[in-house]
């Protein structure tokens, strides 16, 4: 009888684990592939951004509190909001407008961000928060309140604008112990001849430098992925990653060449918060 009870318990636990995994997978799949918030322009970029694979790589769950750094035009927000809307909490961590005083039009957009989130509960969820990083006082949200923070192609700007250290400190503080920091960043070759500041100006980091900088702030690298790699992107373009799609900042000059290359080569990194 005891043996049968133990077997039943093991089977029940296995089924629960399977059900939870299936639920998470279904939520992610739905958010990427059956999401009415996403446009055809959004989905056309999946071949370069691999959102489904990235979210599975990070281990996101629908009941988490997840911060998104620099939502921008909401490409990832529309996916994350769909995952988190019912049972979790979406937290948008837009760059603080005071960091962009020399770009007044962009600063206005950043300043409006918290109100945009608040006015769109159907998209972001009733519990969603829109705020700024770095916060000018305190933290953007309560210390230890986030399960995960995702930063996609943002950290070159943290360096260019001079707020990497303070923003990383606030990121560490907002995450729970063992919380996940997921990073996608335009990548420079390890033997790229440019100095670090020049690379930041072109949108790039060397992967070894990124890992070292993040780990120095109280994180541990637990996994890397090549899902967003693009070997056709060899760098060295006049204005950096913005020569490539979707920006194509060079106009008609070498446009077809850049379209053939596609979007930038990107590192994909998963860290966890550890004790400092």
3-class SS at 20? helix
Q: Residue 132, Cα to own-chain centre: how many angstroms? A: 15
- Is the pLDDT reported for residue 244 higher than 60? yes
3-state helix, strand, coil in the chain (%, to 5): 45, 20, 35
CATH code, domain with 49? 3.40.50.150
Q: Which residues contact 155 (CB under 8 A, 6 or more apart)?
A: 164, 183, 185, 205, 210
Sign of CA dihedral 206, 212, 217, 222: positive
**Total tally of structural domains belonging to the chain:** 1
pLDDT single digits (tens) 24-61: 569 999 999 999 999 999 999 999 999 999 999 999 99
As a whole number, mean pLDDT of residues 2-25 equals 47
Distance CA 233, CA 71 (A): 24
The proportion of the chain whose per-residue pLDDT surpasses 70, expressed as a percent, equals: 91
Q: Structural domain of residue 34, as residue ranges?
A: 2-273
Average pLDDT score over the chain: 93
Length of the chain: 276
Least-confidence region, from 19-23, 26-30, 40-44, 201-205: 19-23
pLDDT single digits (tens) 103-146: 888 999 999 999 999 999 999 999 999 999 999 999 999 999 99
Task: Give me the pLDDT at residue 101, please.
Answer: 85
As a whole number, mean pLDDT of residues 151-158 equals 98
């Amino acid at each position: 009888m005891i043996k049968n009870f133990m077997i039943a318990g093991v089977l029940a636990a296995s089924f629960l684990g399977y059900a939870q995994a299936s639920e998470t997978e279904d939520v992610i799949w739905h958010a990427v592939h059956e999401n009415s918030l996403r446009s055809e322009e959004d989905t056309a970029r999946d071949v370069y951004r691999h959102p489904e694979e990235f979210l599975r790589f990070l281990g996101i769950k629908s009941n988490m509190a997840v911060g998104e750094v620099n939502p921008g035009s909401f490409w990832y927000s529309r996916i994350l909001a769909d995952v988190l809307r019912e049972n979790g909490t979406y937290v948008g961590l837009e760059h603080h407008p005071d960091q962009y005083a020399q770009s007044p039009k962009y600063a206005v957009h950043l300043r409006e961000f918290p109100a945009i989130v608040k006015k769109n509960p159907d998209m972001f969820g009733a519990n969603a928060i829109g705020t700024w990083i770095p916060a000018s006082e305190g933290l953007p949200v309560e210390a230890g309140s986030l399960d995960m923070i995702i930063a996609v192609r943002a950290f070159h700007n943290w360096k260019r604008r001079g707020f990497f250290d303070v923003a990383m400190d606030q990121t560490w503080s907002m995450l729970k112990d063992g919380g996940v920091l997921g990073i996608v960043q335009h990548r420079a070759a390890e033997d790229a001849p440019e100095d670090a500041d020049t690379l930041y100006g072109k949108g790039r980091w060397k992967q070894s430098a990124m890992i070292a900088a993040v780990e120095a702030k109280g994180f541990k690298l637990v996994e890397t992925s090549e899902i967003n790699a693009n070997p056709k992107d060899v760098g060295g373009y006049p204005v950096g990653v913005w020569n490539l799609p979707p920006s194509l900042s060079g106009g008609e000059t070498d446009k077809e060449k850049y379209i053939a290359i596609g979007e930038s080569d990107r590192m994909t990194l998963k860290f966890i918060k550890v004790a400092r």
